[in-house]
Amino acid sequence: MFFSASLLSLASAVLVSAHPTSHSSESVARALPGAWHHTDDHPVHALFRRQSSGATSFPKVGSPEWSAGFPTAKPDSNQIPQAWKDALNAAVQSGKIPGNVPVSRQTAPGTNPIYDGVAHPEQQPVCSSTYKCRSDGQLWDAPNGTIGISFDDGPLPTSDGLYTFLQQNNIPSTHFFIGVNILGNPNEFTTAYQTLQADLAVHTWTHPYMTTLSNADVVAELGYTLALIYNSTNGRLARYWRPPYGDSDVRVDAIAREVFGLTTVIWNQDTEDWSIGQATGTTASAIAASFQKWLTGPKSPGLIVLEHELSAGSVGAFEAAYPVMKSNGWQPVSVAQISGLGTYQNAANSTSPVVAVSGPLAGANNGAGISSLVGAASSSSAAAASTTTAKSASKTGSAASSTASVAGGADNSNSQSGGAVAASPRSLAFFATMGALVLGACVA
Ligand SMILES: *[C@@H]1O[C@H](CO)[C@@H](O)[C@H](O)[C@H]1NC(C)=O
Ligand SMILES: *[C@@H]1O[C@H](CO)[C@@H](O)[C@H](O)[C@H]1NC(C)=O
Ligand SMILES: *[C@@H]1O[C@H](CO)[C@@H](O)[C@H](O)[C@H]1NC(C)=O
């Protein structure tokens, strides 16, 4: 945003000063060779491919145009852009999405999903992260001596205090955002984008157990969130996603990676801070005791601690732990610093320029590339895509209410100690509020 804005003002300054002296601009034009730019088949275009022919600007974050193309609640995967369906089909047909991992189901709200006919979901071929199976390419640990600072479920009104604290203390961080919470809290989103050294990442559109969803529903939950972040950051494509409740498996991971180029991030310690303030929830002192134990323990592997920007209590628990991290010699890092790759797939961070993307997305949708996947209108398929999303918006109601929010929440099934964790009464209670999207009220 800063980059292109300053280029624009530079360009207009040049134009303005050139305007009164038409004579000199004519001589400049004459001095240029007939073809002063490289042709499209020149190798440089492979390195710095134009993102699209059309979308040079995006709707203002928070405006009706900005939210118009997005669903306000659980997305209907029949209505997703054709480009997403094409990319999913191509990945399935090339054998990149395993067909031998069944869709899971829950026997009761808030319980760990089960797989019919599968005795060992903690093993291949399912390798469910709910059952602590780690797949290649996922991030669970940080480098020795570092602590990954990440927050789930924002942006929310409670994020403001957290962002001030992160800014004042110069702390890198990663924020796994819920799509409908971005729609409902555009100011907090903008603050995160403009003022933090932060990775803006994906926590799905409506916070479901992802392994319980069909392939197409997985695509919808990820795609809309990526597209909204893309349209709100001048075309930056998020690189990381965290599955709600830590619930992913080989199938869901493959869809995230092959269709959207996403890396899955879990955690190795859990504060359970989502439940703070609830009747049977954890407490500030319990979280402080956990941090004391982790931060005075071994420095290998490094920590990735599950935290939330859900409530003043969860934010306060982080702020209280921060001096303990420092005094015990831990280095706070963001997920991008852990992975060693950039914050975005097509930009090093929120201020560095957007460049061509390589990897799965570069060739997605028969070479049309990421622009059509994330919805920037540049081709006939993207035009079809916006028609489709507009239809889905009118189906689900009008433009997003400015107070839309999802409570997010109980990412609680993956503490490091112990095996598969049975759902606690706590998570059941939480799920009661999660059962439906909460529009018009902030539950946390
Ligand atoms: C994203 O922004 C572009 C450019 O304004 C627009 O064409 C596209 O429809 C937007 N995407 C969605 C899903 O609204
Ligand atoms: C991290 O620490 C462990 C245990 O001390 C050590 O074996 C390992 O080599 C360290 N890793 C790196 C990259 O230094
Ligand atoms: C963003 O990335 C650029 C490299 O493209 C780097 O020079 C700059 O320091 C980074 N900014 C921050 C805030 O990390």
- pLDDT of 138 reads 97
Beta strands in 157-294 (DSSP E): 173-177, 198-202, 240-241, 263-264, 269-270
Residue with tokens 């310690």: 269
Q: What is the pLDDT of residues 391-442, one digit of tens each?
A: 333 323 333 333 334 544 444 433 333 333 333 332 333 323 333 222 222 2
Which numbered atom of ligand 2 lies nearest the CA of 143?
13
Q: What is the pLDDT of residues 207-247, one digit of tens each?
A: 999 999 999 999 999 999 999 999 999 999 999 999 999 99
| Region 268-274 average pLDDT | 94
Which numbered atom of ligand 1 lies nearest the CA of 58?
5
Lowest mean pLDDT among 3-17, 75-89, 352-366: 3-17
How many Å apart are CA 202 and CA 344, to the nearest integer? Answer: 11
What does each C-alpha distance from 309 to 149, 154, 326, 402 come to in angstroms?
A: 12, 6, 21, 19
Q: Is the pTM of this model over 0.85?
A: no
Please determine, for residue 90, whether its predicted confidence score (pLDDT) is greater than 50: yes
Q: Which of 152, 253, 270, 411 is catalytic?
A: 152
| Region 351-355 average pLDDT | 90
pLDDT band at 356 (very low <50, low <70, confident <90, very high): confident
Ligand 2 centroid to Cα of residue 145, in Å, is 10
Ligand 2 centroid to Cα of residue 109, in Å, is 41
Q: What is the mean pLDDT of the chain?
A: 77
Tokens read off for 159? 């994020």
Peptide bond into 125 cis (omega under 30): yes
Tokens read off for 260? 């959207």
Ligand 2 centroid to Cα of residue 130, in Å, is 27
Strand partners, 201: 176
Which numbered atom of ligand 2 lies nearest the CA of 300?
2
- pLDDT of 22 reads 32
Establish whether 116 is a catalytic residue. Answer: no
Considering only residues 53 and 237, tell me which one the structure prediction assigns the higher pLDDT.
237
Considering only residues 296 and 57, tell me which one the structure prediction assigns the higher pLDDT.
296
- pLDDT of 415 reads 36
pLDDT band at 152 (very low <50, low <70, confident <90, very high): very high
- pLDDT of 371 reads 62
Q: What is the pLDDT of residues 284-313, one digit of tens each?
A: 999 999 999 999 999 999 999 999 999 999
Tokens read off for 169? 């203390």
- pLDDT of 395 reads 29
Establish whether 152 is a catalytic residue. Answer: yes
Q: Which amino acid is at 64?
A: P
How many Å apart are CA 198 and CA 108, to the nearest integer? Answer: 36
Give the number of the ligand closest to the Cα of residue 196. Answer: 3
Q: Which of 175, 203, 207, 308 is catalytic?
A: 308
- pLDDT of 50 reads 37
- pLDDT of 443 reads 26
Peptide bond into 155 cis (omega under 30): yes
